[in-house]
Structure formats: C-alpha cells, structure tokens
Amino acid sequence: MRFTLLCKVCGKNVPFGLKTKICSCGGNLNIEYDMEIVKQTFTKESLTHRDSTMWRYAELLPLENKANIVSLGEGWTPLIPLRKAEAMLSINKIWVKREEQNPTNSFKSRGFSAAISLAKEYGVNQVAVNSNGNAASALAAYASYAGMKSYVFLPKDCPSLLVKECLEYGAHTFLVDGFIHDAGAIVKEGETLQGWHNIGTLKEHGRVEGKKTMGFEIAEQLNWKLPDVIIYPTGGGSGIVGMWSAFLELQQLGFVTGDLPRMVSVQEKGCHPLVHALESTGRFIPQTANITSTPTGMRVPNPPDGQLLVSILYQSGGTAIAVDKEEITQAQVSLGHQGISSSPEGAATFAGLLKLVEQGWISPKDEVVLFNTSCSMKYMSITHTDLPIIKTFEDWAKLSTNQ
Amino acid sequence: MRFTLLCKVCGKNVPFGLKTKICSCGGNLNIEYDMEIVKQTFTKESLTHRDSTMWRYAELLPLENKANIVSLGEGWTPLIPLRKAEAMLSINKIWVKREEQNPTNSFKSRGFSAAISLAKEYGVNQVAVNSNGNAASALAAYASYAGMKSYVFLPKDCPSLLVKECLEYGAHTFLVDGFIHDAGAIVKEGETLQGWHNIGTLKEHGRVEGKKTMGFEIAEQLNWKLPDVIIYPTGGGSGIVGMWSAFLELQQLGFVTGDLPRMVSVQEKGCHPLVHALESTGRFIPQTANITSTPTGMRVPNPPDGQLLVSILYQSGGTAIAVDKEEITQAQVSLGHQGISSSPEGAATFAGLLKLVEQGWISPKDEVVLFNTSCSMKYMSITHTDLPIIKTFEDWAKLSTNQ
C-alpha cells in the first residue's frame, strides 16, 4: 500500500480511512508513504515531464485513483526574485512564491484540491468548513466543480469581498458572531447532526497533504537546493506543517541533502500565540483574550495543533515574529511598488523579513523565500477613490505641474 | 536577423525599431520572423523542457536578449474542462483558458510582459497607456517591477477596484471624462509633449506579440491539435490579432496542420461595432453614438484596427456575437457554480457559447475554448452582503429549516 496511517505516539500502523484521524491510544494518526513504492515512479527526471500543477507530485498525495483528481489548475506557482529588495537590504536572494496565482487566488486551492479529491474518492456529497475567508472560497469553488454541496462559516467581520466570493462559487454561506474557532464548533456539531464532511484545518488529511506541495515546489524550482529561510504567515499553520513534512519526505527520498530551511512564522500583533510561546516557555497556549488583530487568515487564536507548530519552528532552527497593522500596510505598499499585489498575510512576510534583517537573524548570504498567500484585492476597503477627473492632455499637464 | 518588420501593403522589409510602426508607403509594419532561424532551436521536443511561462516561446517574441525579460510569472495558464457545461449542452468538449491566473489577474500580463521587456531593451524609463482597467494595472505592475515610471488613463467610470489596483502598483493614475479612445488621445499627445513611451493597443509591437502566446499555449496544451472554435471577448481585439498570428506561424513551422479554429468575438450590446460590421456590409465602422454597455474591457467603440479584426473573423470562418448585461450576469452565476470566477468579459464568452449552441452554429462534435480574461472580483459592486449572523449550530439549523 502506497500510503497508510501511522501513530506517532504508539507506533501503530493502520489502513487509510477518510475520517480516521485518532489512534486507539488517543494519539494523532498521520499519513505515512511507503517510499519503496513511491520511488518506483517518483524520480527527479520524471518530474521534468509532468503537468504544471501540484498533482505532478501525485505519488506523495493520498489519492488511490487519479480519475478522482478534482483540479482547477492549482499549484506550480511562480517563484519570482525581488531584486529591488535584495539590493535595498543587501541580501543574497529574496524570492516571493506567488500563491495568489492559484485558481481561487490563494494557496488554499492546494489543500482543497487534495481534500475534495479525497472526498470524491470516498463518495462524499456535502462538505463544510470554518474559515477566515480564503479556505471557504476555495472549498466552495472545488466543491462546486466536483458537484458537491458546500457550507461555509466565516467570522461576521470577514471582509465583504471574501464573503461574496463564497456566494459566487455557490456555497451556502454563514456569518458567525465569534472567531474562526467558534465557527469551527458549529461545523463540528454538524458532522453528526447534518452529516457533512468537515474540512476544517487538521480535521481531515487532505488539506495538509495538499499544502506539502508548496514545499516540493520550492525544492524543485530551486533545483533541489533548499533555501536558508522560509517566511510564512501563520494562522492555523497547516502550511508550516505541510511544508515541513514535504522536506522530511524529500530527505527520505534522497532528493535533498544538508540543512532544511529555518522556518519563520509571522503573525499579527494582537493575535500572536506562536510568538508568545517561543518568547516564553515554548509551551503553546491558545490566546483567549485581547484578540485585537485585523480579520485575516493569521487571526487564529487557537490553532488545532499549536504545540506541533512550536516544535517544527524549534527543530528547524526557525523562529516566530509579530508585526503590526502599520508595518503590514507599509509592506503592502512596498511590494505593490515592486509589482506584487500582496494580501495582508503575504505582506506580513515582507514586514517580518525587514525586522529579521534588522535584527541580524537573516544574514547577507542567506537565500530567503517569502510566501504571498493571496492578493490584496480581497481585503480592499470598499470606498471609491477620489482621483480628479480630466479631459485633455492640457488638464493632465496642469495637474502634474501642481504635484 | 531572427525578426524584422514587413509592410503588408508594399512588401518592404525593414529592421525592427521600438517606435517603427508605419511604412514609408503609409501601411502598417508588422513583425516577421525568419523561420529558418527560429526552427534551429524551436522544436516541439524542446518545448517540453521549458519554463512554465509565456517566455517558453522566446524565439517567436521580439526580444534580442533574454536578459531583458521582465517576467512576473505570466502565461502557461491552466486549460480546464467544463464538464457540467459539456453535459448540459451536449457538446463534445468545452474548455476554459484561465487567464485570471496571471500575475495581475488578467491576460493583459502577457502583452505587458512583452512590451515592458522590449521597452527595457530600448532603455525606456517612462511608459503610459489608455485602458478600461486591466491593461493599466498590468502596465503598472510590470513597469514598477522593471523600475520604470508609469502613467495610466482610465475612463472615469472604471470600476473602483481596478483603479485602486493601479494605485497599488505605483502608477500615476488619472480618470478621464470620456471613453477609452478619449484617454488614448491624451496618451498620444504625451508621446511628444511628455516623452513617455505609448503602450496603448497596437501603438507598439510588444502587446500583440505577447498575446500570441495564448494561441501557442492552446495548441501545445491540446497536443498540437487546434480546437474547432475559440470564443474571445473583444474590445481592442489584440487578443484575436495575436492568436491568429500565432496560428499562422505554427502553420509555417509545420507544428499544426488542417483547419485553423473558427474565431468568435463576443461583445456587449450597446457597444458592438464588430457584430454590426459582420451583420451588415463587412465594412468596419466605429461606433460613435449610443454607447450604452457597461464599463468593461469590451467597451471599445473605436478599436485601432477594426477592419483587421473583421477580416480575421471572415478568414477563420468565424463570427461575432453580442450579448446583453443580463446574459452576462447569468453566465457569471453559472460559471461561479462550476468553480470558475469570471470577469464580465470572460462570462460573455459563456453567454456567447449558449447562443451559438442554440443557433446550431456550434455543433455537438465541436471542441470549444472559452477565454476567461480576468476574475469577477475586480468588477464587484462595493456593497456589504446582508447575510444573517448566527452563533450556534442551532441557529444554523433554524435558518436552514426556514429556507
């Protein structure tokens, strides 16, 4: 069997099952691939001829039958050099991984392509998720494409355009008076009472497996030489979990050697429990009060496995850093002027980069990858611009003289 | 020389020049590639190993030195089957080419990557364009990435989010009391008075050459077997011009054989001069009055070379069709429920498809490609949703019972 489930607590190995998440001993069950089987077809050379989607890594994704792939053309996103930033900061190499170029304009497309494909393989016809926005619209798009009914639950202050996106994709969309984990409680209850398949963070296997492909792509696009640092905006953290798994799998396969990247989680001040854990005892404690950050994907006061995130950051020699709303806004302006439209989460990675360079935690010889997880438009405030209106070149010339 | 300029009127051949557009005889100068030189490296086999961007077709793009490529990761966009639509309409194959997955969320990225790269090769440092929105934001992004100053001129009723996008990318942004061709007059005047390089439609060579790559990709992604029909939303029409050039070049190279696709232009009622030309004498006449369509990329009453567009539609055995605002909105809903977020222009192609199937112009055995040129969000009205707010699963259950 190419993939099974393994308990990291008691070592038990069981067959894969869509809803099989907890071992009889109480520990979490994670997917384990038989690398002897994977290696038979998964070679560096064969990859050079494969589709430009995340499904090029199919042997390391938990789908039995490729006919069940539900793909809208996700993954294999561009890795673009930020040359102005390199020069400005005197850093060897700074790349931005452009996840906004995914089908639903966010990296969530990857996790949901995997999760919905898996759901299709198991004959599921209704799915639900709690989300700060992008996960919901991704679920909605993939579920609609696959012919499944979808229900999405968002905090009531979710930016309007993200809400509209869910409606556009045909999801039954609900606003919740609470945070993402409150919405999660509703989805959990509906598993039994409504019977929907819960695709919340770490509630099933597909999403984190889909996120692994970001790690595979970084490695492949950099010719199997991993970068020194990866900076990633962290809410639920399945991106960090997924990429770390990907790097460990690539090590097992012998595709990469040497040190793995130092993983950096960026959070927004006002909701930064990971940063707090690393700055204090290392023990993860959910943030239960004073949640004052803006409603973005990073605002996750109680991620499903905060301790796992902390341990990955430690293992990798990485860190966690908090940036404030003003720093995020400045970063968005800076990236925009470098030709990149960044979501607040994506911009946070640039803001984090600036701080880490200033602190000397990132050195001039480092190669850094930032993740732009979505585009700015989804979060734009809904006001008109107040630009003046002109009619002729003469009007323009007058305006320009006055500026 | 791999590429030169050829006059289709008098046959004169001259060296390429950034601003060399008109022959001494008065005819238009178009780029001509020496296929003997191109063939030396441009083979079907070599393509299978190239970058997943439009620059995989570099031999057929007018850049001397690849070091001048200004790329944000454009092109090689997904071609996705619309299976629900195929079943619903009983059509063999319907694909959507997902141009919204380009760096600036629209197909304009292609033309501007080419145009700005060319401008860089010629040492240009300020660029300008007239646009209905997407061309402007693409110019802004590529110009910023390349370190050039940019000026964009938009009709004053351009959707707010498109205007904001231009500002985000750092363009000097101006709203014009008029239509896109009125904005064009301002840009034209500024060529001499301000000295900016005019990158308006068909005012330089790069944009239409960049648009050719959509045609190359359709051919390559369909294993060099061109579809029967391509439906494309038409404003300025450089996409149609570009793709047709691409197909002719592929024929010259022997990469494709047999019939070329029947090209279909879709326009919105209220600004449909192409449709009018095909329904009457075949002579293109700009629309000068009663311009009542919505402010989208299709609202181009006076395209730079309307007669060329008409002639391509005739040569290909194609047609032009007009759809109204309501049909476009319905199409957006339909595509959204198939997992695709479509711009009004992209949705118009689906609305056009429905009409052509109904008329029998498209038959069950046809293979059709629709172009989704951008995403819906840029055009979303700026209002809040009025969804109810819930707190518990019980609240949800009550709501759902009442629906």
What tokens does A382 get? 């809904």
Instruction: Kindly state the average pLDDT of the residues A27-43.
Output: 95
Surface-to-core class of residue B266, CB atoms within 10 Å of its CB (0-12 exposed, 13-18 middle, 19+ buried): buried
Helix (H, G, I), strand (E, B) or coil at A95: strand
Residue A394 has pLDDT above 90, yes or no: no
Cβ of A378 and B377 within 8 Å? yes
Q: Which residue of B has its CA nearest to A388?
A: B175
Q: Which residue of A has its CA nearest to B79?
A: A73
Of A77, A173, A385, the CB nearest to B387: A173
User: What ipTM describes this predicted complex?
Assistant: 0.92
| Partner B contacted by A380 (CB < 8 A) | yes
The fold of the A108-204+382-402 domain, in CATH, is Rossmann fold (3.40.50)
Whole-angstrom distance, CA of residue A284 vs CA of residue A13: 28
Per-residue pLDDT of chain B (403 residues; tens, 9 = 90+): 999 999 988 999 999 999 999 999 998 899 999 999 999 999 999 999 999 999 999 999 999 999 999 999 999 999 999 999 999 999 999 999 999 999 999 999 999 999 999 999 999 999 999 999 999 999 999 999 999 999 999 999 999 899 999 999 999 999 999 999 999 999 999 999 899 999 999 899 999 999 999 999 999 999 999 999 999 999 999 999 999 999 999 999 999 999 999 999 999 999 999 999 999 999 999 998 999 999 899 999 999 889 999 999 999 999 999 999 999 999 999 999 999 999 999 999 999 999 999 999 999 999 999 999 999 988 887 666 678 888 888 888 888 776 5
The set of long-range contacts for B6-12, using a CB threshold of 8 Å and a minimum separation of 24, is B6/B30, B6/B31, B6/B32
DSSP conformational letter for A379: G
| Partner A contacted by B73 (CB < 8 A) | yes
Give the model confidence (pLDDT) of A231-250 as tens digits: 999 999 999 999 999 999 99
**Which positions ≥6 away from B386 have C-beta within 8 Å?**
none
Whole-angstrom distance, CA of residue B75 vs CA of residue B52: 7
Of B79, B80, B165, the CB nearest to A341: B165
| Mean of all residue pLDDT scores within chain A | 94
Query: Residue A26 region, left (φ>0) first, then alpha (ψ -120 to 50), else beta?
Result: left
**Which positions ≥6 away from B174 have C-beta within 8 Å?**
A387, A388, A390, A396, A399, B151, B152, B153, B154, B186
Size of interface A-B (CB pairs under 8 A): 203
Cβ of B384 and A169 within 8 Å? no
| Partner B contacted by A71 (CB < 8 A) | yes
Whole-angstrom distance, CA of residue A16 vs CA of residue A312: 24
**Which positions ≥6 away from A228 have C-beta within 8 Å?**
A259, A261, A262, A365, A366, A367, A368
Q: What's the pLDDT at B384? A: 67
| Partner A contacted by B170 (CB < 8 A) | yes
Query: Residue B55 region, left (φ>0) first, then alpha (ψ -120 to 50), else beta?
Result: alpha
What tokens does B216 get? 């190359």
Of A98, A169, A393, the CB nearest to B189: A393
Backbone torsions φ then ψ of B86, nearest 5 degrees: -55, -45
B275-287 in b/e form (b: 16+ CB < 10 A) is bbbbeeeeebeeb
Q: Tokens 């990132």 map to which residue?
A: A362
What tokens does B379 get? 């055009």
Surface-to-core class of residue B66, CB atoms within 10 Å of its CB (0-12 exposed, 13-18 middle, 19+ buried): exposed
Whole-angstrom distance, CA of residue A128 vs CA of residue A176: 14
Q: What's the pLDDT at B382? A: 65
Cβ of A163 and B340 within 8 Å? no
What tokens does B2 get? 């791999």
Mutant choice from B387, B395, B399 vs A, greatest count of A C-beta within 10 A: B387
pLDDT band at A383 (very low <50, low <70, confident <90, very high): low
**DSSP string over B240-280:** HHHHHHHHHHHHHHTS--SPPPEEEEEEETTB-HHHHHHHT
Instruction: Kindly state the average pLDDT of the residues A167-176.
Output: 94
| Partner B contacted by A46 (CB < 8 A) | no
Domain boundary assignment for chain A:
3-51, 79-103+210-379, 108-204+382-402
Whole-angstrom distance, CA of residue A135 vs CA of residue A154: 10
Whole-angstrom distance, CA of residue A316 vs CA of residue A314: 5
The answer to whether the B79-103+210-379 and B108-204+382-402 domains have the same CATH topology is yes
Residue A390 has pLDDT above 90, yes or no: no
Q: Measure in Å the smallest separation between the Cα of B106 and chain A Cα atoms.
A: 10
Query: pTM here?
Result: 0.94
Helix (H, G, I), strand (E, B) or coil at A14: strand
| Partner B contacted by A160 (CB < 8 A) | yes
Cβ of B341 and A165 within 8 Å? yes
Q: What's the pLDDT at B39? A: 96
Give the model confidence (pLDDT) of A256-309 as tens digits: 999 999 999 999 999 999 999 999 999 999 998 999 999 899 999 999 889 999
Residue A402 has pLDDT above 70, yes or no: no
Residue A65 has pLDDT above 60, yes or no: yes
pLDDT band at A382 (very low <50, low <70, confident <90, very high): low
- Per cent of chain A over pLDDT 90 is 89
**Which ranges constitute the DSSP H helices of B122-237?**
134-146, 160-168, 180-193, 206-221
CATH number of B79-103+210-379: 3.40.50.1100
Q: Tokens 């809208």 map to which residue?
A: A72
Q: Which residue of A has its CA nearest to B340?
A: A141
Query: Residue A63 region, left (φ>0) first, then alpha (ψ -120 to 50), else beta?
Result: beta
CB B337 within 8 A of CB A170: yes
| Partner B contacted by A191 (CB < 8 A) | no
Q: What's the pLDDT at B389? A: 85
Whole-angstrom distance, CA of residue A21 vs CA of residue B134: 46
Cβ of A382 and B384 within 8 Å? yes
Mutant choice from A55, A101, A148 vs B, greatest count of B C-beta within 10 A: A101
